Amino acid sequence: MYVTGSHNNSITSNCETCNRTNCVIHKNKGVLFNSTLPQSSTILKCKKGQQFIIEGAPVNGLFFIKSGTVKVFRTGINGREQIVRFAKGCEIVGHRGFGTQEYYSIGAVALQDVELHYFSKEHLQSALLENPKFAYDMMLFYANELNRSENKVKSISQMTVRERVIDTILYINRKFDDINGFLSLPLSRKEYADYAGTTEEQVIRVFSALKKENLIMAKGKKIGIIDVSQLKKEINEHNYFLDS
């Protein structure tokens, strides 16, 4: 098994050809790219591991992910990282700083090589004011994010560690496809822990238990789900309805 050239498995998601029905960028590309402003959007490329939003830095605009995967986090109590969400192509990052907030309350780093569309605040403001459809789509996005965030508070305060870890696996599974039985997004145990609100060791132990129970399989960073319905069942018993 080998990779030819420098083309790793980057998802070629050109916004012109992207046909995700739920993509805010795609649905509003006329508004976003045909602006009267000369330089409406700049494309930014980040290599794996590169941080493109720094906590506390002033907000100048918003990022739309063109391709690749990103993790969004905030630094918690004793320097512990809390992963807020994982984002992929067609999603927006840095949106909470938009509007009133002056500084980012989150950081964002590329988990793989990433391409970003960057739009300035000014450009987006005029696009939003002039185009109700775009504003409406953005509002839906914000509402959805708020819902997700509220669910997360619930899950962290009320679920057991095991349930939170399962919840995290299912979240990754829903959001990122399988490649022959394994989750296509490789994450370290620490990253699972930071999302689930626990420690690396706890994640490792839950993983080991789940492996013994034949619910998942793990080969290094490659995690495969064997029995999705059984895992869902454990979560559903506690009435947790999950986000996208």
Partner DNA sequence: CCATTAAATTCAA
Partner DNA sequence: TTGAATTTAATGG
**Applying CB under 7 A, does 86 fall inside the site for DNA?**
no
Candidate segments 116-124, 143-151, 163-171, 188-196, binder of DNA by CB under 7 A: 188-196
**Applying CB under 7 A, does 220 fall inside the site for DNA?**
yes
In the Cβ-directed half-sphere of 72, how many Cα atoms lie within 13 Å? 18
Rounded to the nearest whole angstrom, what is the least distance from the CB of residue 44 to DNA in the complex?
Answer: 22
Q: Are 74 and 105 in contact (CB under 8 A)?
A: yes
**CB nearer DNA, residue 29 or residue 190:** 190
Rounded to the nearest whole angstrom, what is the least distance from the CB of residue 47 to DNA in the complex?
Answer: 11
Residue of 44, 218, 226, 228 that binds DNA (CB under 7 A): 218
DSSP 44-92: EEE-TT-EEE-TTPBP-EEEEEEES-EEEEEE-TTS-EEEEEEE-TT-E
Angle between helices 161-175 and 200-212 (to 10 degrees): 80
Where b means 16+ CB within 10 Å and e means fewer, 122-146 reads ebbebbbeebeebeebbeeeeeebe
Rounded to the nearest whole angstrom, what is the least distance from the CB of residue 72 to DNA in the complex?
Answer: 19
Compute φ and ψ for 103, nearest 5 degrees: -125, 145
**Applying CB under 7 A, does 219 fall inside the site for DNA?**
yes
Candidate segments 19-27, 28-36, 142-150, 184-192, binder of DNA by CB under 7 A: 184-192
Candidate segments 24-32, 115-123, 205-213, 228-236, binder of DNA by CB under 7 A: 205-213
Rounded to the nearest whole angstrom, what is the least distance from the CB of residue 199 to DNA in the complex?
Answer: 6
**CB nearer DNA, residue 137 or residue 194:** 194
Six token digits for residue 234: 């454990």
Q: Which residue has the tokens 């999603």?
A: 91
Candidate segments 62-70, 90-98, 194-202, 227-235, binder of DNA by CB under 7 A: 194-202
Q: Are 201 and 229 in contact (CB under 8 A)?
A: no
Residue of 199, 226, 232, 242 that binds DNA (CB under 7 A): 199
In sequence order, the β-bridge partners of residue 179 are: 182
**Applying CB under 7 A, does 204 fall inside the site for DNA?**
yes
Q: Which residue has the tokens 């493109």?
A: 52
Residue of 144, 208, 214, 236 that binds DNA (CB under 7 A): 208
Between 128 and 167, how does the x/- string for binding to DNA read (CB under 7 A)? ----------------------------------------
CB under 8 Å to 174, separation ≥6 — which residues? Answer: 242, 244
Q: Are 223 and 182 in contact (CB under 8 A)?
A: yes
Rounded to the nearest whole angstrom, what is the least distance from the CB of residue 116 to DNA in the complex?
Answer: 21
